[in-house]
Amino acid sequence: MKKTVLSGNEAIARGAFEAGVKVAAAYPGTPSTEILENLVSYQGIDASWSPNEKVALEVGIGASFGGVRTLVTMKHVGVNVAADPLFTLSYTGVRGGLVLVTADDPELHSSQNEQDNRNYAKFAKVPMFEPADSQEALEFTRLAFAVSEQFDTPVMLRTTTRISHSKSVVTLGEPLTGLPEPSLSRNPAKLVMLPGNARPLHHTVEKRITDLEEWSSRQPWTRVEEYGGKIGVITAGISYQYAREVMPDADILKLGMVYPLPKAAIRAFAANYETLYVLEELDPFIEEQVRAMGINVQGKDIFPLCGELTPGRVHDALTGEHAPLAHSVDEPLPNRPPNMCPGCPHRGVFYALNRLKAYVTGDIGCYTLGFMPPLSAMDTCVCMGASIGMATGISKVLTEEDRAKVVAVIGDSTFLHTGINGLMDMVYNRSTATVIILDNSITAMTGRQDNPGSGFNLAGDGTYQVNIEALCAAVGVKHIQVIDPYHLEQTKDVIQAEMHRPEVSVIITRRPCMLVKRDNLESKPPLFVDSDKCTACRACLKIGCPAIEWNPEAGTKGQAQVNELLCVGCKVCMELCKFDAFGVVDDE
């Protein structure tokens, strides 16, 4: 069989292909995004971006009810959005196997919280697999489809960033053939969840979990590994790797299915050890259930509850000390925070909001970086789509003067995800806040995925493009303006005027993401700073462009310089300079 190196996400896509998946749906979200981006390249699979995770799961449910195997993927917080269909899908069960991937992000590498979605498996009463490397990501994806159909249940597959974005060697399998053909099949007692139908299904769900719990103890993914016989560790997922790395002599009960737990296997394993650990990231999910079985274990009393585990953190928790390091850095170093790209169309908008001293309810996207200095123009960020509802809420309680300062900002993809509902409420309940839709025609932060507003689908084919201004007009917004955020003065003037309007207004700042190459945008020559004209006023530094660098050694008081390798020639800085010090390189 062919060996290759795959990330966890690539392996899940491969596993889904091998399992005979026909339909896949998702909303992009780090660290889950690459699963569908890879899956779309396999022949015969309908893979698509949905406007949000709830729609993605509903598309998946429909395809499953039509009789095909279906994959739905999202990041951990995406499951919050998809929770509504998930909890009732647990009752209906499936027709074609349905697997929901939740990609969790311990350590919040690129997220707003680090919730532990193993709790969803228990809450929704659905089985959950957790792979420990890319090989298992592939195999467990295949297995999850088989279990889904065998037990008539959706199955969750949980990864974490270190599984999704780590690569390891994988042996590929052969794709399954001979799966049932899709068809219409009416079964209202199973698929129409009214109280009379759902009540008996609750009993089915409870029995299913008991059956799975008993069955899972006897499956090969519930595995005892013996290395020394003195210490026992119960673990799963990435934590298994850290147990092997840091405690090479400990015996291990490696779990593949983390819900329901294989209680018989756990009881049998635990009986052999006086010292028994549960090693897991985030919540004491396994630990609490093991303790509830009357088994005494060590877990979160020594291992950290917050953040991801690392070999070092596990070692320190076990030994109570930090191993001395051979090398050190003894001086404070400047941080290197992420920043909007040179030429990013969002930059000028946040500069204007900063100058206008707006109170900005923010949202999730590249533009959340508008929070960072020197732009420093974001006051809240909670979840996808929240900015508009929050602007409505805070406007309700403020004085007229303060109310005029409230501005909601939201990206095009986030607006179409869940922002539109907030806008309906804003108009319906006669709020007065201002909404800025930062329309760069792409879902940028996750790596530039298409969305219903971009005019292209996941496969890269042209499709219908949502008309955002018409959509806003349709929900009742009377004041809608579309502006180019590269025009700094106009941007500031329009925002200022709309902030003072005692009615809902929407400003669409429209310019494509700098990283989208589709439009064959002419590349523009970089700028330079004329050292005879630069007076060291530092006005240009206030937009935080990565291409403008302060050189403290230049001139008598220091001077700004343009890094020609980074500058894309957007000229926003030119508008800031009162001394006409910026020039275009080609014009010299």
- Chain residues that interact with other proteins, rule: CB under 8 A: 3-5, 30-31, 33-34, 109-110, 133, 161-162, 165-169, 241-242, 244-246, 310-312, 315, 323, 325-329, 331, 333-341, 366, 369, 372-374, 445-447, 538, 541, 544, 546, 548-550, 552, 558, 563
Strand partners, 456: 462
- In this complex, which beta carbon is closest to other proteins, that of residue 49 or of residue 145? 49
CB of 325 to other proteins, least distance (A): 4
Angle between helices 76-92 and 195-216 (to 10 degrees): 110
- In this complex, which beta carbon is closest to other proteins, that of residue 83 or of residue 372? 372
- In this complex, which beta carbon is closest to other proteins, that of residue 217 or of residue 414? 414
Which residues make Cβ contacts (< 8 Å) with residue 400, sequence separation at least 6? none
CB of 580 to other proteins, least distance (A): 21
What CA–CA distances, in Å, run from 499 to 353, 381, 427, 432, 475?
10, 20, 15, 9, 20
- Cis, peptide link before residue 31, omega less than 30° from 0: yes
3-class state of residue 517 by DSSP: coil
- In this complex, which beta carbon is closest to other proteins, that of residue 86 or of residue 246? 246
Closest CA to 74 of 198, 176, 158, 130: 158
Residue 179, token pair as written in the block: 């799966």
CB 153 within 8 A of CB 126: yes
CB of 326 to other proteins, least distance (A): 4
CB of 203 to other proteins, least distance (A): 42
- In this complex, which beta carbon is closest to other proteins, that of residue 148 or of residue 414? 414
The DSSP bridge pattern shows strands 275-279 and 406-411 to be unpaired
CB of 550 to other proteins, least distance (A): 3
CB of 303 to other proteins, least distance (A): 15
CB of 584 to other proteins, least distance (A): 21
Closest CA to 38 of 10, 75, 11, 15: 10
CB 366 within 8 A of CB 344: yes
- In this complex, which beta carbon is closest to other proteins, that of residue 180 or of residue 312? 312
Q: How far is residue 358's CA from residue 495's CA, in Å, rounded to a whole number?
A: 10
- In this complex, which beta carbon is closest to other proteins, that of residue 231 or of residue 497? 231
- In this complex, which beta carbon is closest to other proteins, that of residue 77 or of residue 124? 77
Q: How far is residue 524's CA from residue 113's CA, in Å, rounded to a whole number?
A: 39
CB of 168 to other proteins, least distance (A): 5
- In this complex, which beta carbon is closest to other proteins, that of residue 184 or of residue 333? 333
Closest CA to 504 of 436, 426, 416: 426
Q: How far is residue 406's CA from residue 410's CA, in Å, rounded to a whole number?
A: 13
Q: How far is residue 26's CA from residue 141's CA, in Å, rounded to a whole number?
A: 16
Which residues make Cβ contacts (< 8 Å) with residue 18, sequence separation at least 6? 138, 141, 142, 172, 173, 174, 175, 176
- In this complex, which beta carbon is closest to other proteins, that of residue 22 or of residue 254? 254
CB of 89 to other proteins, least distance (A): 28
Residue 2, token pair as written in the block: 């062919």
Angle between helices 488-499 and 346-355 (to 10 degrees): 50
CB of 413 to other proteins, least distance (A): 14
Q: How many CB atoms lie within 10 A of CB 234?
A: 28
CB 169 within 8 A of CB 4: yes
The DSSP bridge pattern shows strands 527-529 and 479-483 to be unpaired
CB of 541 to other proteins, least distance (A): 5
- In this complex, which beta carbon is closest to other proteins, that of residue 241 or of residue 441? 241
Taken in order 49, 53, 58, 64, the sign of the CA dihedral is: positive
